[in-house]
Structure formats: structure tokens, C-alpha cells
Amino acid sequence: MEFVRVLYASKATNIYPDLKQDLIKILDTAVDFNSRNEITGVLYYGHGYFVQCLEGRKSKIDELFYEKILKDDRHKNCEILFYEKCDFGLFKHWNMKFAPINKRLGDFFLENHRDDFNPFLLTTNSIPSFIELLASEYATEPYVFEVND
């Protein structure tokens, strides 16, 4: 059984108020699909950008990303920033946690990229600490995936 973590960035197609309706529907679908498929993760929105980190069984993550998320016209310029095999999950408690960006994330971009929040600025160097920051936002213990199902 192979588990993976993926981080991708995209640009929202709509702006408020349509964006708000999009988000409500996305989260509704995501919580349902992700919990049924043991997928966990977080989705942040800020300054017109989405950044989402997803973890779970490789086949399920690939199905969700390539068959659904990539084809979704509520966002565009969808780009994988990081894709790695993983042994433990960082977002155990959230089948899909949504949050608007906050000061800590904004400060991360100022410190690392000398600019406002924009996930497309992330680099090989800054991505690991960005993922750590996302995980630390919720102060959870990593957990070991079930390997016998």
C-alpha cells in the first residue's frame, strides 16, 4: 500500500460573491468524498490563489487530482508543487480543512519570497517548511497510515 502527499497551487476563476458559493460547494463535496476515501488535507485561499495539501492512498489521490480537481473549472493554472511518498499523515483530523490565509502564512511569504501570499512562488527550498507550517497550524501529532486494509 502506497501513501502520498501532494501540494498544488491554482488560481480561482471567480471572485466574491461567486467564489463564496464555489467554496461552499467544493467543501461539501470534499468532506464527503475525502472521508469516504480516507483522504486528509487542508485547503487555503488568499489573494485569488488556492493551495491545497492532500494525503492518502496513492490511487485515491491520483484519481481525485487527475480526474476531478484538475478538470474543475472553478480554478485554473493548476500546478503540482510537490508530490512524495509518505509514511505518516500530517492532517489526520481533517478530511478537508478550509481556511483563508492568515498572518503566519502571509509572513512566511514575506520572509521567504519577499512578497505577499502567492503559492506559485514556492520553491524546492521553501516547500518543506511551508508544509511544516501548514501542519503546525493545527499542532497535531503525525499518524501512521493503516497498512493492512
Ligand X SMILES: Cc1cc2nc3c(=O)[nH]c(=O)nc-3n(C[C@H](O)[C@H](O)[C@H](O)COP(=O)(O)O)c2cc1C
User: Least distance from C-beta 78 to ligand X, angstroms?
Assistant: 8
100 DSSP β-pair partners: 45
Output 26 or 131, the one with its CB closest to ligand X: 26
Which of the stretches 27-35, 112-120, 124-132, 140-148 binds ligand X when contact is defined by CB under 6 A? Answer: 27-35
- How far apart are alpha carbons 54 and 7 in whole angstroms? 7
Taking CB under 6 A as the rule, does residue 69 contact ligand X?
A: yes
Taking CB under 6 A as the rule, does residue 62 contact ligand X?
A: no
User: Least distance from C-beta 63 to ligand X, angstroms?
Assistant: 10
CB 77 within 8 A of CB 11: yes
Output 102 or 107, the one with its CB closest to ligand X: 102
Region for 48 from its dihedrals, namely left if φ exceeds 0, alpha if ψ lies in -120 to 50, beta otherwise: left
Which residue has cell 501532494? 6
67: which DSSP letter? I
Taking CB under 6 A as the rule, does residue 9 contact ligand X?
A: no
